[in-house]
Homo-oligomer: A and B are copies of this chain.
Amino acid sequence: MKPVENEPNVEISGKSAAAPNSEAEAETVESAVSASISTEVLPSDSATELDVPALPTEMLLEMYRKALAIRLMERALLAAAEEGQIGGAMHTAIGHEANAVGAANALRKGDYVTCTYRGHHHGLAWGMDPGRAIAEVMGRSDGFAKGKGGSMHFVSPENGMMGANGIVAAQVPHAAGLALASHLRGEDTVAITFFGDGALFQGVMHETFNMAAKWKLPLIFYCENNRYSEMTPIWRTSSIEDIFLFPRAYGMETMQIDGNDVEVVHAAVSKAAERARCGAGPTFIEGITYRLAGHMAGDLETYRPAEEVEKQEAYEPLTVLRQKLTARGVDEASIAVIDEEVDEMIEDAVDFAEESPWPDAAETYRDVYV
């Protein structure tokens, strides 16, 4: 595990935003941020102020299984894309797994999630079947959307997964609408929406922050901050230095957390969900994470040094999870059994997808209208 090089900067509630007092100071902060946040990782033990209870080993094992399934599905999809089996834009979530798995496990049946085009991990974490998911990405008839939506539009209403989106930030008001429905109906369900660091600068984010805070909607804004917006590092285009501090301007609770550690994510989302359910309104969570693969299949990654990626590989969700399991006394052999089972499951899923027939041409004209 990488040693801690920075001050812990994970904090939760109660602290006030310290805006830079001078331009010189602002410049210093900016370069510090670009030097640290963009290349460093935040181990979970720096999460000093968020109470992170140890989760039962059973649950950790379950999470490991899920995270691994995501990882392996993504690798299989990248391989399939290279073979030319997948077209369009396919974004994998390799390195992002903990955000989805930790969050999904902290929420209940009946809660809702919306997310971005980088949504495979959310799909699986929320219970979608890998075979049908892969079939969807490949445009086959057994895809959950019959091949119409593809990689960027994972959806599974029965699991509360209400849709991924190809338009940056468009899914955010959708989740607010789900939270609004709970609010209007007096239900205690919660909605969570995932978006990237780059999404923060879409106007609709601001509009949604404002209304969600005003109406105290049961909504969790979850920013998967992987420090890049496609090929552009976040500090190059934004004046906001600390993403997690920004939404405080709306009077929202905010947290910055280690998005690579399922336990931290679980704790943060649990806390946010609790607030939401008791009518205290939305919470903004910034999960610091890293995208270990390219922005999308085919990305040559010329915009970041290989060492940056290598550094991050030392502290990525599966490694963190395996270390946790080992620390709990789960032996290598038991982990190897899971690894094998999951590997087989994903292989089966790929086979299922590849054998799934192409949709019938007549399917094209269905579902335009109800």
Q: Which residues of B contact A251 (CB under 8 A)?
A: 19-20, 26, 239-241
A214 and B202 in contact, given A26-B251, A280-B23 (Cβ under 8 angstroms) = no
Verify if A267 is at the interface (C-beta below 8 Å from B). no
| Segment from A47-55, A136-144, A203-211 that makes contact with B | A203-211
Q: What are 7 A-B pairs at a CB distance below 8 A?
A: A19-B251, A201-B206, A202-B203, A211-B237, A214-B237, A239-B251, A240-B251
Is A337 in the interface zone, CB < 8 Å from B?
no
Having A211-B237, A241-B251, one finds 9 other A-B pairs with CB under 8 Å, namely: A17-B19, A19-B251, A23-B280, A201-B210, A203-B205, A212-B239, A214-B238, A245-B249, A246-B249
Contacts A203-B203, A249-B240 given; indicate if A16 touches B14 (C-beta within 8 A): no
Chain B residues, CB < 8 A from A238: 210, 214
Contact A19 B20 (CB under 8 A): no
Closest to A21 in B: B14
In the bound complex, residues from chain B placing their C-beta under 8 Å from that of A271 are: none
List chain A positions with a Cβ less than 8 A from chain B. 14, 16-21, 23, 26, 201-207, 209-214, 237-241, 245-246, 248-252, 280-281
Chain B neighbourhood of A209, CB < 8 A:
239
B239 touches A17 (CB 8 A): no
State the number of copies, please. 2
- Structural contact, A17 and B20, CB atoms closer than 8 A: no
- Interfacial chain B residues near A16, Cβ < 8 Å: 16-19
The residues of B that contact A21 with a CB separation of less than 8 Å are: 14
**Nearest-CB distance from A278 to chain B (Å)?**
10
| Distance (whole angstroms) from the CB of A73 to the closest CB of chain B | 34
Q: In the complex the two chains form, what is the Cα distance from A239 to B211 in whole Å? A: 7
Considering the chains assembled together, what is the distance between the CA atoms of A201 and B20 in angstroms? 24
A17 and B206 contacting across the interface, CB-CB below 8 Å: no
A215, chain B: closest CB distance, angstroms: 8
Min CB distance A198 to B, Å, is: 12
CA distance in complex: A238, B281 (Å): 14
Residues of B within 8 A of A20 (CB): 251
Nearest CB in chain B to that of A247: its residue = B249
Q: Quick one: closest B residue to A15, CB to CB?
A: B19
Least distance between A142 CB and chain B CB atoms (Å): 38
- Shortest CB-to-CB span from A8 to chain B, Å, is 21
Closest residue of chain B to A235, judged by CB?
A: B214
Residues of B within 8 A of A252 (CB): 239
Q: Which of B23, B26, B210, B240 contacts A239 (CB 8 A)?
A: B210
Are A17 and B14 interface neighbours, CB within 8 A?
A: no
User: A115–B23 Cα gap in the complex (Å)?
Assistant: 28
A222 and B237 alpha carbons, distance in the complex (Å): 23
> How many Å from the CB of A283 to the closest CB on chain B?
12
Residues on B with beta carbons closer than 8 Å to the beta carbon of A281:
23
List chain B residues, Cβ under 8 A from A17: 16-17, 19, 248-249
In the complex, the chain B residue whose C-beta lies closest to that of A281 is B23
Inter-chain CA distance A257–B180, complex, in Å, is 36
Residues on the B chain within 8 Å of A207, using CB = 201-203
